[in-house]
Structure formats: C-alpha cells, structure tokens
C-alpha cells in the first residue's frame, strides 16, 4: 500500500519512449522530467526555433544543477542525448506515451487528438496536460477514448511533485494505473481526480488568485503587501508572484473556464487580469506581468 492507503500502481502498458507535444514552459519542463528519469523523449514543435527553446530551457535547468554539484557534465549530456526534437507529428508514431502541452484552447486540442489518433501506434497512451478543459472531449476526438487520460503537471514541472491524473468514464483502468506508476517512476506524486473543470487544485487556487487581484483593485492593499502577507502564511509565493509564474493569459483562460462551468458571479475575471493580458504583460515569460522582471 502507498502512504494514502491505496494500492501501489504497477505499469500495465510498458513505456520506454515518451512524446511531448508543445514547446512552452510546461512542455519543456515535462520533457525534462521524463528525460531525467531515463526515458527517450521525442518533442514536437512548430519550428526549429521553438525546438531550440526547449533545449535552452532544459540546458539552463541542468546547468543550475551542475553548478550546485547535484549533477555532473556526463549526467547532463546523457539527459540532453535522450531528447529528440521534431517539427512533424509523424515522429510520434512509435512512442508508448504522448503528453500534450499545447495551447489551452479546446479546438486546437481536438485537432491535435484527431492527429494523434491517426499517427500513434495502437496501445499508445494519449495524455493531455490541460488544466481546465474536458478530458472526455479530447478522448471523443479519437477512435480510442479508452487510451486517453489527463496528466496535469504544475509549474515549474521539474520542481513540483504533484500530478493530477484525470480519468473519464471511458478511460481503461490499465491506462490509469500505468500513468500513476509512471508518475512515481519520475519522482512525482500522483493524485486521482474526476473529469471536472479545474480538477482539484485549479478549482480551489484560481478563485483565490482572482480574488487577490480584486482585493488590490479595491484599494485595500498593494500587490506587494498582499504577496508578503500570504507568504507569511507559509505559501511559497504571493498571489501576484504566482500569477506571473503561471502566466496571466493562462490564468485568465482558467478563470473563464471556471466561470463557464460553475457560473459563480463572484468568479468573473478581475479587470486588471484582463488588462495585463491585453497589454501583453503575461508574467515572467514576457519579463513583465503584475510585477516587472
């Protein structure tokens, strides 16, 4: 038994190679996680420039580990050697598991899942790291909904241990068990959750983040004071700092999904959140968000 009393999962569908679709922060972090755990990773992006960005992200993180004496140069080279970039999705034909981390937009995801259905070998597990869209909708875009599952990583993926494993009524229990076993094999902590907008963490976290913005808008306290106050409660980051880490565009999309799903009037996205997104102040990734970097 595991720590929470549930049986320890075992790999029911062997996985040695992993495909990652996307080249953003989450995709880069997920590629790093699997490569560091010894899996061969094929990552797919739309241009060579974007593929280079993934290598840049992983190299920077590995260099930091080398500088701290946690990894040697040979270990770093071994991780990088397990990463293979491709600009064509056809490169995913032979992988055992695909994790997609492309734009948080249902139509874009559905188009991808139709492609994965066409390209991937039978028995491959097709996972989405969507943070708030319907896993079942992705599953139903394929002729193999039993192979589709949610694998929701957190930002920064190489550091955050939590992975929400989201099953639908169609998901094969062997797929669920294999994915939870893979999480453990990559040093992650899987939690099981049903297919519901926001799953566990975002359903609770984003109304809090959005309320933090509204509190600042009300003039009751500054961003800096709110961040400081919440960190004093032992949260690792204040809400504005965390919004900038997650990305304000992503945060706005999640908040809009939650409003759409549950309709709480008080959950309408804060005006300043819409404004920073409209101004392109997306957070750390654009060097400016609520704070400037």
Which of the residues 17, 28, 134, 164 is marked catalytic? Answer: 164
3-class DSSP assignment, residue 126: strand
3-class DSSP assignment, residue 196: coil
Which is closer to ligand 3HC, CB of 274 or CB of 285?
A: 285
Neighbours of 224 (CB within 10 A): 14
The residues, any chain, with a CB within 8 Å of residue 120's CB and separated by 6 or more, are 19, 92, 93, 95, 98, 126
Which is closer to ligand 3HC, CB of 81 or CB of 159?
A: 159
Tell me the H-state helices in the chain.
25-36, 48-67, 73-81, 106-119, 135-140, 173-185, 201-217, 223-232, 239-246, 248-262, 271-278
Alpha-carbon separation of residue 249 from 86, 103, 135 (angstroms): 27, 11, 21
At its nearest, how many Å lie between ligand 3HC and the CB of residue 31?
12
- Residue 164 annotated to the active site: yes
Which is closer to ligand 3HC, CB of 84 or CB of 155?
A: 155
At its nearest, how many Å lie between ligand 3HC and the CB of residue 67?
9
Pairwise CA distance, residues 129 & 250, whole Å? 13
- Residue 152 annotated to the active site: yes
Which of the residues 61, 131, 132, 248 is marked catalytic? Answer: 131
At its nearest, how many Å lie between ligand 3HC and the CB of residue 235?
8
At its nearest, how many Å lie between ligand 3HC and the CB of residue 91?
25
**Contacting residues toward ligand 3HC, per CB under 6 A:** 61, 64, 68, 70, 131, 154-156, 158-160, 202, 205, 236-237, 242, 246, 250
At its nearest, how many Å lie between ligand 3HC and the CB of residue 246?
4
- The residue at minimum Cβ distance from ligand 3HC is 131
Which of the residues 17, 132, 152, 177 is marked catalytic? Answer: 152
Which is closer to ligand 3HC, CB of 80 or CB of 91?
A: 80
Alpha-carbon separation of residue 99 from 212, 240, 273, 286 (angstroms): 32, 29, 29, 25
Which is closer to ligand 3HC, CB of 63 or CB of 90?
A: 63
Which of the residues 132, 134, 202, 248 is marked catalytic? Answer: 202
Cα R_g (the chain), whole angstroms? 19
Cβ-in-10-Å burial (0-12, 13-18, 19+) of 59 comes to middle
Catalytic residue ranges: 131, 152, 164, 202
């Amino acid at each position: 038994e595991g720590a929470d009393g549930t049986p320890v999962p075992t790999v029911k569908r062997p996985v040695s190679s992993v495909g990652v679709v996307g080249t953003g922060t989450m995709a880069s972090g997920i590629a790093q996680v699997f490569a560091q755990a010894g899996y061969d990773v094929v990552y797919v992006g739309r241009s060579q420039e974007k593929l280079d960005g993934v290598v840049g992200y992983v190299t920077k993180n590995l260099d930091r580990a080398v500088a701290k004496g946690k990894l040697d140069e040979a270990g770093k080279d071994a991780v990088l050697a397990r990463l293979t970039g491709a600009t064509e999705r056809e490169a995913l034909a032979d992988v055992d598991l695909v994790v997609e981390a492309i734009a948080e937009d249902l139509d874009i995801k559905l188009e991808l899942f139709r492609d994965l259905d066409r390209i991937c070998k039978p028995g491959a597990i097709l996972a989405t790291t969507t943070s708030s869209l319907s896993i079942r909708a992705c599953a139903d875009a394929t002729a193999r909904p039993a192979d589709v599952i949610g694998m929701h990583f957190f930002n920064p993926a190489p550091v955050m241990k939590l992975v929400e494993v989201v099953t639908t009524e169609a998901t094969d229990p062997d797929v669920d068990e294999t994915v939870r076993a893979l999480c453990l094999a990559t040093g992650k902590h899987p939690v099981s959750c049903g297919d519901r907008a926001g799953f566990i963490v975002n359903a609770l976290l984003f109304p809090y983040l959005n309320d933090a913005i509204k509190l600042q808008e009300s003039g009751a306290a500054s961003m800096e004071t709110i961040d400081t106050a919440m960190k004093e409660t032992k949260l690792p980051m204040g809400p504005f700092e965390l919004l900038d880490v997650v990305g304000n565009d992503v945060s706005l999309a999640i908040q809009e999904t939650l409003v759409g799903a549950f309709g709480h009037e008080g959950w309408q996205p804060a005006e300043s959140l819409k404004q920073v997104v409209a101004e392109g102040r997306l957070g750390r990734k654009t060097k400016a968000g609520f704070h400037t970097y």
